[in-house]
Amino acid sequence: MNIIFLGPPGAGKGTQAQRICAALNIPQISTGDILRRAIKEQTPTGLKAKSYIDAGKLVADEVIIDIVKDRLAQEDCQNGYILDGFPRTVPQAEALTHIANIDSVIELAVDDQHLINRLSGRRVCLKCGATYHISLLDGKTTCAACGEELIQRDDDKAETVLNRLTVYHDQTAPLVSFYEEKGLLHRIDGAQGMDVIFQSIMETLGVK
């Protein structure tokens, strides 16, 4: 099954993608994670992408489309995947139609105030990609999965979060109608608890 997770920053795409991928045994393709890894490794793509990400802007379509095309050609994607954070513009969605057949688009809908609270308290593990919220960490500062020190993403600082929300409403939200018109869109209330959302997605995908 080839699935897209669509939604604003902080909607829970990464959190749910990890859980659904584990349940379905398919890879999570997060363009944000790929770019952050490239920045950490100081690759040419990472060096180019850093200023855009730090400012809360989108990286150029051509760069992202090439990344996704290469990634989806790999062996582990042949039985399905979840695209988390791609596509994010209409040109990206149009390019994807030439690369893959999408079975389902899950939109996680959450209002902006809720998103600001979530993102300001998010802590992430750059080693394994696990995501936490400070309210549930009980003062712990390391990753429960791999032991790495948790960090706050640079783009989770207040001003950048507001930029990212503006970019979402201007450039990514039009994809809701793009996929609605294709009959692929399923909207789920992303403000519910994580377990409830997980169950709703599994039911929507027809998986028990």
57 as an active site residue: the answer is no
Please report the beta strands in 65-103, taking only residues with DSSP state E, as ranges in sequence order: 81-84
Secondary structure of residue 182 in the 3-state scheme: coil
Burial grade of 198 (CB within 10 A; 0-12, 13-18, 19 or more): middle
At 53, give phi and psi (nearest 5°).
-65, -45
Candidates 3, 4, 12, 104: give the one binding ligand AP5 (CB under 6 A). Answer: 12
Rg, C-alpha atoms of the chain: 16
Please give the residues from 107 up to 136 whose contact with ligand AP5 meets the rule CB under 6 A: 118, 122, 131-133
Q: Of 4, 6, 21, 35, which one interacts with ligand AP5 (CB under 6 A)?
A: 35
Q: Judge contact between 121 and 148, C-beta under 8 A.
A: no
Name which of 166 and 177 has its Cβ closer to ligand AP5: 166
Which of these, 184, 1, 179, lies nearest to 77 by C-alpha position? 1
Q: Of residues 73-102, which lie at the interface with ligand AP5 (CB under 6 A)?
A: 85-86, 88, 92
Q: Which residue is nearest to ligand AP5 (CB)?
A: 32
> Is residue 71 within the footprint of ligand AP5 (CB under 6 A)?
no
Q: Is residue 194 a contact residue for ligand AP5 (CB under 6 A)?
A: yes
Residue 13: active-site member: yes
CB 143 within 8 A of CB 124: no
Helix (H, G, I), strand (E, B) or coil at 2: strand
Q: What is the closest distance, in whole angstroms, from the C-beta atom of residue 142 to ligand AP5 in the complex?
A: 16
Question: Under the criterion CB under 6 A, does residue 53 sit at the interface with ligand AP5?
Answer: yes
Number of C-beta neighbours around residue 49 at 10 A: 23
Q: Among residues 19, 36, 71, 88, which one is catalytic?
A: 88
| Residue 137 and residue 32 in contact, taking contact as beta carbons nearer than 8 Å | no
Selected range binding ligand AP5 among 13-21, 72-80, 99-107, 177-185, rule: CB under 6 A: 13-21
Which segment (19-27, 51-59, 93-101, 173-181) binds ligand AP5 by CB under 6 A?
Answer: 51-59
Binding residue for ligand AP5, selected from 10, 28, 72, 104, defined by CB under 6 A: 10
Query: Residue ranges of the alpha helices (H) in the chain?
Result: 13-24, 31-40, 44-55, 61-72, 90-96, 112-120, 158-167, 174-181, 194-204
Which residues are marked as active site?
13, 88, 122, 153, 164
Interface residues with ligand AP5 (CB under 6 A) are: 7, 9-15, 31-32, 35, 52-53, 56-59, 64, 85-86, 88, 92, 118, 122, 131-133, 155, 164, 193-194, 197
